[in-house]
Amino acid sequence: MRRPALPRLGALLLAGTLPLGGAIAADPAPATNPLFAGADPGVLVDRGTVRLLPTGDGDSLRGWKRTDGQWRAGPPLIALRDIAWVADGAPRHFLWAPDMLAADGRYYLYYSIGPQNPTPSRIGVATAMRPDGPFTDSGRPLLTGGDGFEAIDPAIFADPRDGRVYLLAGGSAGARLRMFQLGADRVTIARELPIAQPPHFTEGAYVHVRDGVYYLSYSHGRWNRGDYSVHYATAPGMSGPWTYRGRLLASDARYKGPGHHSFFRDPADGAWKIAYHRWQSVSGDGPYRGQRQVAIETIRYLPDGAIAPIVMTP
C-alpha cells in the first residue's frame, strides 16, 4: 500500500498536525514509553551513549541523547537553510528521516529531502567533528530519485566483517529498495549493488547483524494507517540471499501503525532493542492525524536466530 507522492512530513504540515513542540522541545523526557513526539528514529550508539535521531519540524533536525535516565534534545544538527542545493524551483521542501554514522573520528549525517513532486526527492549527507554538530553539508545530493524510485529513508550500515559502508534507500513512490556501497570518504557512492525486493516492502529499511546473521527489516503499509508494520528477512551477508521471516511489529488494541525503526544494542544493559514510532490515542484503521510518538522495546531472539514478535509497551 503506497502513500501519496507528497512525503509523510509534508502531509502532516498541510494538515496542520505536525508534532512541532514534542520533536524539538528542550525539556527532558523520561526513559519510558512514549519517549517524545517524533517519527522515523535513526539511532547512533557512540562511546556508551545512545542518541535517537527523529524527524523533527521539517525545516531542521535535532538528536535526542539519553543521560541520567532521561532523553534530552540536543542543539540543531542541520537545517534546510544550510543546504544550498535544496533550491531547485519547488515551492517547499522538507527534511526528515535521518541516520548517522561514526567513523575515524568524524560523524556523518544522512537525511531525506523532499517532496518527490514536482522535483525528485534526494538524500543528502553532512559531516561534523562532534555528534551534536553543527554539521556541514557535502555540497551536493548523495542520491537523487526519479524514474519510479523515491530517494528517501537513508539507512547506513557499516559491515563488521570488512568495514564496507552501505546505504539502503527507497520508499513509497514505487516502493523500491536499492542498495549502494559508499566510497572511502562516506559522502559519495562507489557503486550500486543488487538486492532482491523484499516481500511487503514499502519504506524505512534497516540492517543490523547479530551472531553472524544479517537482519534486513523494513516498514510495510501506509504511514498514517493501521496496516503500517515492520517485517524482516535474514541472510548470511549483505549480498544475500535474503529469506523472508515474517512480520515483527504491528498495530494492537492500544497503539497503531508502528514502524520506521532502528535496531541497536543498548550499552546500559547489553540488550538488543528497537526504536520506532507509533500512533497513540487513535482508533480504527486511519488515516490518523496528530502526533506520532517515539518508543523503544526490548527484543528477543529465538534459538534459530528468528526474532520473536515484538509487543508494544506503555
- How far apart CA 282 and CA 51 sit, in angstroms, is 28
pLDDT per residue of the chain (314 residues) written in tens, 0 to 9:
333 333 333 333 323 333 333 344 446 776 789 999 999 999 999 999 999 999 989 999 999 999 988 999 999 999 999 999 998 888 899 999 999 999 999 999 999 999 878 889 999 999 999 999 999 999 999 999 998 899 999 999 999 999 999 999 999 877 899 999 999 999 999 999 999 999 999 999 999 999 999 999 999 999 999 999 999 999 999 999 999 999 999 999 999 999 999 999 999 999 999 999 999 999 999 999 999 999 999 999 999 999 999 999 99
Q: Structure pTM? A: 0.91
CA 228-34-128 angle, to 5 degrees, is: 85
> Which residues, including other chains, have CB under 8 Å from residue 224's CB and lie 6 or more apart?
3, 8, 11, 257, 279, 286, 287, 288, 289
110: left (phi over 0), alpha (psi -120 to 50) or beta: beta
| pLDDT given for residue 91 in this prediction | 86
Domain boundaries, the chain: 8-298
Alpha-carbon torsion, ordered 249, 221, 6, 233, to 10 deg:
70
pLDDT for 16 equals 30
Within 8 A by CB and 6+ apart from 90, the residues are 115, 118, 119
First to last CA, the chain: 28
Q: Are 95 and 82 in contact (CB under 8 A)?
A: no
Strands (E) in 36-142, as ranges, are 36-37, 39-46, 49-55, 60-67, 70-79, 94-103, 106-114, 122-128, 136-137
- Give just the sign of the alpha carbon dihedral 57, 58, 60, 61: positive
Inter-residue contact 249 to 230 (CB < 8 Å): yes
**Model pLDDT, residue 88:** 83
Distance (Å, whole) CA 300 – CA 86: 42
DSSP code of residue 15:
H
Does 8-298 carry CATH code 2.30.31.70? no
Quote the pLDDT of residue 30. Answer: 63
Which residues are CB-neighbours of 301 under 8 A, at least 6 positions away?
Answer: 210, 272, 307, 308
The C-alpha atoms of residue 9 and residue 61 are separated, in whole angstroms, by: 13
Please report the pLDDT score of residue 12 as a whole number. 36
